[in-house]
Amino acid sequence: MTLDEIKIGGMGASRRRVEDNRFIRGKGNYVDDVVLPGMLHMEILRSPVAHARIRSIDVSKAWEIPGVRLVLTGDMLATRNLAWMPTLSYDTQAVLATDKVRFQGQEVAAVIADDPYIAKDACEAIVVDYEVLPVIVNPDQARAAGAALIRDDKENQPDNKVFDWEVGDRSATDKAFAEADVVSEVELHYPRSHPSPLEPCGSIADFDRSTGKLTVYMTTQAPHIIRAAVALVAELPEHMIRIISPDLGGGFGNKVPVYPGYVVSILASILTERPVKWIEDKTGNLISTGFGRDVYLKGQMAVRKDGRILGVRMHTISDHGAFFSDAQPSKFKIGLMHSAFSCYDIPAAHLTAEGWYTNKAPGGVAYRCSFRVTEAMFFQERMVQAAADDLGMDQAEFRRINLVRDDDFPHRTPFGFLTDSGQYGKCLDVALEAIGYEQFLKDQEEARKKGRLLGVGISTMTEPLGAGNSREYDILGIKMFDSAELRVHMTGKAILRTGAKTQGQGHETTWAQIVAHELGIPADDIVVEEGDTDTAPFGMGTYASRSTPVAGAAVAMVSRKIRAKARKIAAHLLEVSEEDIEWELGRFYVRSSPDRGVSIQECAMAAYSNMPDGMEPGLENVAYYDPPNLTWPFAAYVATVEVDPETGVWDVLRMVAVDDCGVRINPMVVEGQIMGGLTEAYAMASMQFITFDAEGNCIGSNYMDYLLPTAWETPGFELHEVVTPCPHHPIGAKGIGECATVGGPAAFVNAVMNAVQHLGVRNIDMPLLPDRVHAAINTRSDISGAPPVRTDSP
């Protein structure tokens, strides 16, 4: 009897997440849950000012507090060449400040004590004398003549520029613009935001001098990269470093970089020969760790009267904070910004980018964005809407004219990527049908006559997910492939390990489903383990929606290696030649006599007890997978809103999401990803931003100022699917983790703009807080930039 794949928890089963069993019982094992014998506690003293020279640091009062074991400053780190560390973007970052502080919240000193209360008390006893310097909080100030030089620590750094970068064909683009009937322009700001995982960052370093082994429990999405970084920075032998990333309470890109706290806790453990725990507080996480966005986006679109797009120009100005410390493929300075317009058939495009240092926290690519794809797609969809409006053409029709057609694959994108599959028009049609587009336009017209403002916004996009292929993608030169190791035990149960690291994505559930699909071993018989560099095969970790495209493919490939060996064992057991063996889910059988067969479990037992002569015993293997291309999922998001003209408050009436992420391993998990992503998209469109006042004080350093939406205000989402299998992925899957966060914001913003555009408003920058929407309606003008921090007195 053929196995029912859904019943064994294979591909397509909405299998309940196995990890939730421990999470909902409060039995998760996060870094802060780990307690080691003799463990000390570390607290970091942070700078209260954004830019200042350090005249002196007096730690004598801190040392006097009973229970204090160690006080560290930058000068003490400098004696060990650890005051600065390399970033994952070929820059350097201060571990503990020596010469200057360069952003509010920067790490200045650390106290290691018997308990965290003492450590905190001792931090308050440290006296730092700061000589305050002029503060730079945006790229305009950074490039002004006579601007203070932030990175005076670097040689050959005469100004505050991080980089200039260019991609595309300038002359072909100029030519396209010369032929245009209409040229549309937009100028946007994507405000700084923060991934704010529920669990902040932290580490426990445990150096054992007797063995020379360093074990670090750490909140990291990429434990193997961290192992390499620690080996290089701390000059410890790599085989004596073990990084364990236990359960993670969310990551969203925030837990990719190497943070000063990790490094200091490692040094503190080496010096004290005791385990040292450092757990960041929420404010520390918000003001000092990897943020997202903070980019000014300008551009133009050349359009023909019949609706065809001829060319696009883009210029981005990004604010990287005090250190260029995000992690991104080293070939690209502004991440994958040039993935913009990949779903449209546009003959010519040109992008210029500039990056600037400011007195703000470092980072830039975090927050579920796949290396700046979020900004690229937001710009794309706002630009497309502006061009449709300028042409006087329906926004859906304009997209339909320009979307890449199903028979045009493989398709070379405007900036040179190669997309391989999709049904873009169909996805858009499904979304428009679901929202009732034609009827809504009529309702909108009627409502307007009564002074009500209704709007509908569309966002369609494909994005490059699954870095990488090793030709183009690396971090610090390390190629971006991934791995899986599968050990099938003699009773047919198995353990699977990968180089990825789940943070909530549900790998423990879904990887087992891939194995079940490939081998017919029930998913419940497979345990999945990740995050321990001593046991997991080398991998680049989980971010950029890369786990299913890369590690997930490795899981399929290693299962196939196992199946190939099991086939030989089956032939041996069935006493036929391998060529006479057929496979069906979970079972080999003799082609000429289908009743004669052996199960995969019987083959597993034989691998340990009755293998053919000359065969290596056991049933284990490892696979490294280097994908031939990125995966290109597609999404069509359509939102309808009503704006209250008296208050500027806008409510989402409906939000329809049509995602094509290829074959879905676990539909429920995929839907969870989409709903979470749409929630974040709604947050960014409506309320979320981090800004700074003129002195560089971070406005958004706590959850009263930096808003995470609750279930109360988050709208309902209506999800639909279209399935176009990925042609190069072993199970046809594409990335999905970031699609909704990336594509969602433009749908909400376009909807609000659609509601107010007839009043003479072309753009309101995010977040669309009620006062900004009200001001735009009232003044009939655009509202640009981050919400200002006003300090006028009552």
Partner 1 sequence: MYPSRFRYEAPSSVAEAIALLEEGKGEAKILAGGQSLVPMLKLRFASPELLVDINNIAALDYHHFSSDGALHIGALCRHEHLEKSSDISSRQPTIAAAAPLVADPIVRTRGTFVGSVCHADPQGDWAACMVALDGRIVAQGPSGKREIPVRSFVSGPFQNVLAYNELAVEAVIPAPKGTALGGYMKLERRVGDFATAAVAVAVDVDGGRVTRAGIALTGVGGTTIDAADAAAALVGSSLDAETIARAAELAAGVAQPRSDHRGSASYKRHIINTFTSRLLSGIAESHEKAA
Q: Residues with catalytic annotation? A: 221, 368-369, 738
Could you say whether residue 793 binds partner 1 (CB under 8 A)?
yes
Cβ 713 to partner 1 shortest distance, Å:
6
**Which tokens sit at 766?**
């995010």
Interface stretch with partner 1, choices 76-84, 298-306, 623-631, 784-792 (CB under 8 A): 784-792
CA distance 509 to 492: 18
Cβ 725 to partner 1 shortest distance, Å:
40
Could you say whether residue 788 binds partner 1 (CB under 8 A)?
yes
Could you say whether residue 775 binds partner 1 (CB under 8 A)?
yes
Cβ 769 to partner 1 shortest distance, Å:
6
Could you say whether residue 710 binds partner 1 (CB under 8 A)?
yes
Which positions from 118 through 137 interact with partner 1, judged by CB under 8 A? Answer: 119-121, 124
Nearer to partner 1, 588 or 706 (CB): 706
Which positions from 272 through 301 interact with partner 1, judged by CB under 8 A? Answer: 283
* β-strand pairing of 482-488 with 494-498: antiparallel
Nearer to partner 1, 575 or 792 (CB): 792
Q: Which of 774, 776, 777, 783 binds partner 1 (CB under 8 A)?
A: 774
Nearer to partner 1, 223 or 648 (CB): 648
Q: For residue 742, what are the CA distances in angstroms to 241, 292, 351, 426, 460?
A: 36, 12, 19, 20, 10
Could you say whether residue 705 binds partner 1 (CB under 8 A)?
yes
Q: What is the CA radius of gyration of the chain?
A: 28
Total binding residues toward partner 1, as defined by CB under 8 A? 35
Q: For residue 61, what are the CA distances in angstroms to 66, 78, 221, 433, 480?
A: 11, 22, 38, 69, 48
Cβ 24 to partner 1 shortest distance, Å:
18
Nearer to partner 1, 43 or 107 (CB): 43
Could you say whether residue 699 binds partner 1 (CB under 8 A)?
yes
Burial letters 424-451, b for 16+ CB under 10 A, else e: bbbbbbbbbebbbbeebeebbeeeeeee
Q: Which of 447, 490, 675, 789 binds partner 1 (CB under 8 A)?
A: 789
Q: Write the secondary structure of 211-246 as one string of H (helix), E (strand) and C (coil).
A: CCEEEEEECCCCHHHHHHHHHHHCCCCHHHEEEECC
Which positions from 58 through 87 interact with partner 1, judged by CB under 8 A? Answer: none
Taking Cα atoms as reference points, which of 735, 780, 734, 779 lies closest to residue 761? 780
Could you say whether residue 771 binds partner 1 (CB under 8 A)?
yes
Interface stretch with partner 1, choices 87-95, 114-122, 186-194, 284-292 (CB under 8 A): 114-122
Nearer to partner 1, 11 or 776 (CB): 776
Nearer to partner 1, 130 or 682 (CB): 682
Q: Which of 297, 769, 777, 783 binds partner 1 (CB under 8 A)?
A: 769
Q: Helix, strand or coil for residue 534? A: coil
Q: Write the secondary structure of 449-485 as one string of H (helix), E (strand) and C (coil).
A: HCCCEEEEEEEEEECCECCCCCCCCEECCEECCEEEE
Kindly state the helix (H) or strand (E) to which residue 590 belongs, with its residue range.
strand 587-590
Q: Which of 116, 249, 347, 425 binds partner 1 (CB under 8 A)?
A: 116
Could you say whether residue 770 binds partner 1 (CB under 8 A)?
yes
Cβ 44 to partner 1 shortest distance, Å:
13
**Terminal CA-to-CA distance of the chain, rounded, Å?**
79
CA distance 640 to 654: 5
Nearer to partner 1, 86 or 787 (CB): 787
Q: Which of 183, 687, 719, 759 binds partner 1 (CB under 8 A)?
A: 687
Nearer to partner 1, 665 or 768 (CB): 768
Which positions from 631 through 650 interact with partner 1, judged by CB under 8 A? Answer: 646-649
Cβ 709 to partner 1 shortest distance, Å:
6
Q: Is the peptide bond before 66 cis (omega within 30 degrees of 0)?
A: no
Taking Cα atoms as reference points, which of 75, 176, 67 lies closest to residue 122? 67
Name residue 484's beta-bridge partners: 498, 623
Could you say whether residue 787 binds partner 1 (CB under 8 A)?
yes
Could you say whether residue 399 binds partner 1 (CB under 8 A)?
no
- How many CB atoms lie under 10 A from the CB of residue 199? 23
Nearer to partner 1, 398 or 748 (CB): 748
Kindly state the helix (H) or strand (E) to which residue 111 belongs, with its residue range.
strand 107-113
Interface stretch with partner 1, choices 61-69, 139-147, 564-572, 710-718 (CB under 8 A): 710-718
Q: For residue 763, what are the CA distances in angstroms to 185, 294, 503, 619, 746?
A: 11, 17, 36, 60, 12
CA distance 646 to 651: 13
Nearer to partner 1, 627 or 648 (CB): 648
Burial letters 201-229, b for 16+ CB under 10 A, else e: bbbbbbbeeeeebbbbbbbbbbbbbbbbb
Could you say whether residue 691 binds partner 1 (CB under 8 A)?
yes
- How many CB atoms lie under 10 A from the CB of residue 115? 12
Cβ 481 to partner 1 shortest distance, Å:
41
CA distance 664 to 721: 10
Nearer to partner 1, 195 or 466 (CB): 195
Cβ 771 to partner 1 shortest distance, Å:
3
Nearer to partner 1, 152 or 705 (CB): 705
Cβ 120 to partner 1 shortest distance, Å:
5
Cβ 124 to partner 1 shortest distance, Å:
8
* Alpha helices per DSSP H over 277-361: 282-288
* β-strand pairing of 526-530 with 494-498: parallel
Cβ 227 to partner 1 shortest distance, Å:
31
Interface stretch with partner 1, choices 111-119, 197-205, 212-220, 551-559 (CB under 8 A): 111-119
Torsion angle, alpha carbons of 562, 564, 565, 567, to 10: 120
* Contact residues for 530 (Cβ-Cβ < 8 A; gap 6+): 245, 497, 498, 499, 500, 501, 502, 507, 536
Interface stretch with partner 1, choices 174-182, 231-239, 461-469, 706-714 (CB under 8 A): 706-714
Phi, psi of 406 (to 5 degrees): -55, -30
Specify the length of the chain in residues. Answer: 794
Q: Which of 618, 709, 725, 727 binds partner 1 (CB under 8 A)?
A: 709
Could you say whether residue 117 binds partner 1 (CB under 8 A)?
yes
Could you say whether residue 579 binds partner 1 (CB under 8 A)?
no
Interior angle at CA 85, CA 289 and CA 195, nearest 5? 15
- Residues in contact with partner 1 by CB under 8 A are 43, 116-117, 119-121, 124, 283, 646-649, 687, 691, 699, 704-705, 707-710, 712-713, 769-771, 774-775, 787-790, 792-794
